[in-house]
Amino acid sequence: MTYGFVTRQTKVSDVSGWDELYQSDTATVWEAENVYGYYKVKYHKTSKTKYYKGESAWMNIQRDVVDAGDFGGWGIFQ
């Protein structure tokens, strides 16, 4: 398994698997196993899945999870 950093060209198909970081009634957050800086978030109320990548991905995930109504989201990456 190759472990690398996320780039603009990184695709979902490049990910070998996902490790769960956080789960609540509002959202579930996963981190890519083999690509550093690539995340997947599923929002349960809307059944929408969003992908985040890059240096500021963790900030965007925290903000979006909290905006969705889960204030426990501030502790995802601590």
* pLDDT digits 0-9 by tens, 8-33: 888 999 999 999 999 999 999 999 99
- By percentage, how much of the chain surpasses pLDDT 90? 72
CA 26, CA 44: separation in Å to the nearest integer?
Answer: 5
* Cα 20 to Cα 13, 31, 40, 42, 73, distances in angstroms: 18, 6, 9, 11, 14
Q: Is the pTM of this model over 0.75?
A: yes
Q: Tell me how crowded residue 61 is: count the other CB atoms within 10 A of its CB.
A: 23
